Amino acid sequence: MLSSTRLLLAALSASQLFFLGDINKVIAAESSNLQLELQSTFNYRDSESYAFPVSFPFPPEALPVGQESAFLETVDAGKHLEVSNISLKGAWKITPNWRLLFKIDAIDLYDRNPTSQDQKVDADTFLLRYGKKSSAKRPAKTFNYYLQLGKFGKMERQNDRHLQSYGLVSSAFNRFEDAGVELGIDLTPQLYLKTSYTTGNPVFIRDPNALAGDNGTRDRQLPPNNPDPELKSGIVILYDAEIEHFNLNKNPEIGFGIGFRPQTQDKRWQSDIFAWFYQRELAEERELNGTFYGADLDLLDGAVGFGLPTSGDKKKEFGLNYWLYRDSFTLFAQYVDQTLAGLKRTGKELELAYKISLPFNWTFNGKPVIKSITPALRYSDLNTDFSGGGGFPAPSASWDWRKIDAGFNIEFQHRTTLTIEYNKNDFETILGTGHSDEFLTSLNWRYRW
């Protein structure tokens, strides 16, 4: 995984290019301006069982006794109670303009990526930022800019999701952080530009439900030690996996974006329209923790005669986002058009949410027990213009997908939130429409100091 220490040293070194003065003295003077938050998430998960036979020629010794073919199947079907994550978030205000932001995850069960054998402690976010980053809810009042270096979420990512789950588009294109440099400029309170120069997330495969699935783990290497592992492969899609290194010299990704944020004078109605573009060259092979499979072209080309119908090494994405905030109503929409080594696919995602204040006041020690309830509904789909080539071991990567996520948040006192949701997956296989649904309950508790 990305070394937090190396990233911090790189950030502090690069800051000398933009900051005139003795940063060590400033840090010492401002060291008290640190905010921390401890967050834990507990889950009840009920995953529907589904299995699809694959034609990839596994040798007999690679299969369980009595089984004649391999399957793509639900990662961990059935009912489970689990702790999915414990994290520590921090914001250090070094000066009025300089901030160090970080988020360290432990356990990280649902984002352990690309397999369960990935590292269990990870620097999810780690960045040094100069300037203030504006948004639809906090637009700039005049000309403004920010510059950040480190590991951070992609510029088009929806950071205010109302459900624990992710849609197909967010899972495939911008679920995980990238690492590099990002510059944002507010030309006016409404018009803004963004650009980034980053490492680029490796292309791999995962199940779009809670657990990623195990593909290429050591206990499944041929000849296998365990031909029937506890965690299965999952019904996988192609997605941008988590970065493993901070490297801007090899196959970097360049991104550009332009946005417009109209709003009413009383700020009851706020919106954000953002168009963006990314491009990089896919690597011949990229190593990932927890799997002996390679990412990028090594994954797409597969074994001889068993790859996807790729052409070239270019990865390009064009997208359009729309955010709308009206009183207690929130809307987010995203469209993505991707070309991945000649493989074309598009994705659409729409999320609606409405925050409801309760008509009654159930109190404890003079305070309302439930602060609000927010129902949310998300629709997403992925459509491909290619098919698996010659027995590619993950044919689901070329299927058309539809996913509906419906649920609600209950916000309690003491920074406690309960999320209950149902995730419905439909995908078009050569045998007809398949289903891999999941019920997920998440209890999230936060403590700040």
SS (H, E, C) 231-298: CCCCCCEEEECCCCCCCCCCCCEEEEEEEECCECCCCCEEEEEEEEEEEEECCCCECCCCCCCCECHH
Q: Quick check: is 94 in a domain?
A: no
If we measure between CA atoms, which residue out of 293, 295, 285, 112 comes closest to residue 216? 293
DSSP 364-376: ETTEESEEEEEEE
Q: Quick check: is 126 in a domain?
A: no
Residues 6+ apart with CB under 8 A from 77: 47, 48, 49, 50
Q: How far apart are CA 199 and CA 150, in angstroms?
A: 10
Q: What angle do CA 329, 331, 332 make, to 5 degrees?
A: 155
Longest pairwise C-alpha distance within the chain: 71
Range of the structural domain that residue 413 is part of: 42-81+144-448
Which residue type does 234 have?
G
State whether residue 124 is helix, strand or coil.
Answer: strand
Find out whether 349 and 315 touch, Cβ atoms under 8 Å: no
If we measure between CA atoms, which residue out of 351, 329, 316, 326 comes closest to residue 158? 351
Residue 304 sits in a domain of what CATH number? 2.40.160
- Count up the domains in the chain and report the number: 1
pLDDT value at residue 8: 42
Residues composing the chain: 449
Rounded-to-10 torsion of CA 30, 178, 258, 332: -100
Report CA torsion sign: 179, 86, 94, 35.
positive
DSSP H or E stretch at residue 397: none
Q: Quick check: is 215 in a domain?
A: yes
pLDDT value at residue 221: 52
Q: How far apart are CA 248 and CA 254, in angstroms?
A: 10
Q: Quick check: is 19 in a domain?
A: no
Q: Quick check: is 263 in a domain?
A: yes
Other beta carbons within 10 Å of 387:
14
pLDDT value at residue 213: 93
Q: Quick check: is 88 in a domain?
A: no
Per-residue confidence in pLDDT tens, the chain, 449 aa: 444 444 444 443 444 434 334 445 444 444 569 999 999 999 999 999 999 888 665 555 555 544 545 788 999 999 999 999 999 999 999 999 999 999 999 999 999 888 898 989 999 999 999 999 999 989 999 999 999 999 999 999 999 999 999 999 999 999 999 999 999 999 999 999 999 999 999 999 999 999 999 988 876 555 455 567 889 999 999 999 999 888 899 999 999 999 999 998 888 899 999 999 999 999 999 999 989 889 999 999 986 567 899 999 999 999 999 999 999 999 999 999 999 999 999 999 999 999 998 766 776 777 778 889 999 999 999 999 998 655 677 889 999 999 999 999 999 988 999 999 999 999 999 889 999 999 999 999 999 98
Q: Quick check: is 286 in a domain?
A: yes
Per-residue buried b or exposed e for 13-39, using 16+ beta carbons within 10 Å of the residue's own CB: eebeeebeeeeeeeeeeeeeeeeeeeb
Task: Bin 25: left if φ > 0, else alpha if -120 < ψ < 50, else beta.
Answer: alpha
Q: How far apart are CA 343 and CA 433, in angstroms?
A: 22
Half-sphere exposure of 155 (CA within 13 A, CB side): 37
Residues 6+ apart with CB under 8 A from 189: 139, 140, 141, 142, 261
Q: Scan for tokens 């993950």, then name that residue.
A: 394
Find out whether 185 and 86 touch, Cβ atoms under 8 Å: no
Question: Which residues, in sequence order, are bridge partners of residue 49?
Answer: none
Q: Quick check: is 115 in a domain?
A: no
pLDDT value at residue 179: 97
**The pair of three-digit structure tokens given for residue 161, joined into one six-digit string:** 């999701």
Q: How far apart are CA 82 and CA 433, in angstroms?
A: 30
